[in-house]
């Protein structure tokens, strides 16, 4: 097992800064997820770790050793891509074996490793098949087995589940967690899917426009987002935002006055954004809440619950609720312990 550290990595393509001063450290055996919208620099960051791209500046360290200029083939990394990259004209066995043959391992060693890797991802019975005889999920396993057979120090995965249909994705996700916990291999996993990140990660790095916005456990980034971007990117349905002004001892949001004890002195008189998640508002009284009267505009039925859209003046709040209120007039109970205050407007 190996730790991976990025120090101030910058990578530019002509006028685009794909990776903008990125630093983080992934511990031995950790499952680390890079999460962010399409184009935010996740793949470029992963390719720099693999040695497939050279950064313009900054350093990559494996176990404290500078590998910034070490070629990809000498980094002992296993990679799984979105497009599986299985070779159609080769049987599963050979698909897994090829990188080992290139590495010039003995036939016996190759056979041992291919079989062990196939066992780990439950495709031992498929070694004689061709890719066209496999389902999407099975092809994905072949790609994972190939990376594992390499016995890498580090496993890098770039949206490996995105070609699977929704149900299979949930299954494969659970299997990946189990496998990684068994193997305890240092893993860096890229995704734009927040649920995947929350389920898989020991820690998540949220990226936007080439920069790291926040690094933390799934719990930390959900409960203590450091800015609006992170708050909005994590959680479904998305968090509600509304504007407020900081006064001495409270925040005034017009329809809602929020008592607030420890307001930093510099903030008084400033405009802020207040965030509250749809599941932290209720239509029946809850403890430590502030009641607010509103009008039900729409109730979206999700089957087991509703997303209520409730208008309060010109603000519309989304509320996640088991029940749909009988009348248009509703009282919302906003959990005041769950309010997020952002000093950005």
User: Which one of residues 5, 42, 96, 147 is an interface residue with ligand ADP (CB under 6 A)?
Assistant: 42
203's enclosing H/E stretch is: strand 203-208
How far is 293 from 304, CA to CA, in rounded Å? 25
Give the interface with Mg ion as residue ranges (CB under 5 A): 43
How far is 227 from 214, CA to CA, in rounded Å? 9
Q: Give the Å distances, CA to CA, from 126 to 82, 118, 201.
A: 21, 9, 30
Q: In whole angstroms, how close is the CB of 260 to Mg ion at the nearest point?
A: 40
Residue 18 interacts with which of ligand ADP, Mg ion, none, CB < 5 to 8 Å by class:
ligand ADP
By C-beta, is 191 or 240 nearer to ligand ADP? 191
Look-up of token digits 């890719």? 131
Question: Binding to ligand ADP by residue 100, rule CB under 6 A?
Answer: no
How far is 159 from 133, CA to CA, in rounded Å? 23
Query: Which of these segments, 35-43, 74-82, 91-99, 136-144, binds ligand ADP (CB under 6 A)?
Result: 35-43
Cis peptide before 237 (omega within 30 of 0): yes
Query: Which of these segments, 37-45, 84-92, 175-183, 251-259, binds ligand ADP (CB under 6 A)?
Result: 37-45
293's enclosing H/E stretch is: strand 289-301
Question: Binding to ligand ADP by residue 211, rule CB under 6 A?
Answer: no
Query: Which of these segments, 12-20, 131-139, 287-295, 324-332, binds ligand ADP (CB under 6 A)?
Result: 12-20
* DSSP count for the chain of H helices, then E strands: 8, 20
Residue 13 interacts with which of Mg ion, ligand ADP, none, CB < 5 to 8 Å by class:
ligand ADP
Question: Binding to ligand ADP by residue 22, rule CB under 6 A?
Answer: no
Question: Binding to ligand ADP by residue 44, rule CB under 6 A?
Answer: yes
User: Which one of residues 5, 43, 156, 306 is an interface residue with ligand ADP (CB under 6 A)?
Assistant: 43
Question: Binding to ligand ADP by residue 13, rule CB under 6 A?
Answer: yes
Torsional class of 126: left (φ above 0), alpha (ψ -120 to 50), beta (otherwise): alpha
Which residues contribute to the site for ligand ADP (CB under 6 A)?
A: 13, 16, 18, 36, 38-44
């Amino acid at each position: 097992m190996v730790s991976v550290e990025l120090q101030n990595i910058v990578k530019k393509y002509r006028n685009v800064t794909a990776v903008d001063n990125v630093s983080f450290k992934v511990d031995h055996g950790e499952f680390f997820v890079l999460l962010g919208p399409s184009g935010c620099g996740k793949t470029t960051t992963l390719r720099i770790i693999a040695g497939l791209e050279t950064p313009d500046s900054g350093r990559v360290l494996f176990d404290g050793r500078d590998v910034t200029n070490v070629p990809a083939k000498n980094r002992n990394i296993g990679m799984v891509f979105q497009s599986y990259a299985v070779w159609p004209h080769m049987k599963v066995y050979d698909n897994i074996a090829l990188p080992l043959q290139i590495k010039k391992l003995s036939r016996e060693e190759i056979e041992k490793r291919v079989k062990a890797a196939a066992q780990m991802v439950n495709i031992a019975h498929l070694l004689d098949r061709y890719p066209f005889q496999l389902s999407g999920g099975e092809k994905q396993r072949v790609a994972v087995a190939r990376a594992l057979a390499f016995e890498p120090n580090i496993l890098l995965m770039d949206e490996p589940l995105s070609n699977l249909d929704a149900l299979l994705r949930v299954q494969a996700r659970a299997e990946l967690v189990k496998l990684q916990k068994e193997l305890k291999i240092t893993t860096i996993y890229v995704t734009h899917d927040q649920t995947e990140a929350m389920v898989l990660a020991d820690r998540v790095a949220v990226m936007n426009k080439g920069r790291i916005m926040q690094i933390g456990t799934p719990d930390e980034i959900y409960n203590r987002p450091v800015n609006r971007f992170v708050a909005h990117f994590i959680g479904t349905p998305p968090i509600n935002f509304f504007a407020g002004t900081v006064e001495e001892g409270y925040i005034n949001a017009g329809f809602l006055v929020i008592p607030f004890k420890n307001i930093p002195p510099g903030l008084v008189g400033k405009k802020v954004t207040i965030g509250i998640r749809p599941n932290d508002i209720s239509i029946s009284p809850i403890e430590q809440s502030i009641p607010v009267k509103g009008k039900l505009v729409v109730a979206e039925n999700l089957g087991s619950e509703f997303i209520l859209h409730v208008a309060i003046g010109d603000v519309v709040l989304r509320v996640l609720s088991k029940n749909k209120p009988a009348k248009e007039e509703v009282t919302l109970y906003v959990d005041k312990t769950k309010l997020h205050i952002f000093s950005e407007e």
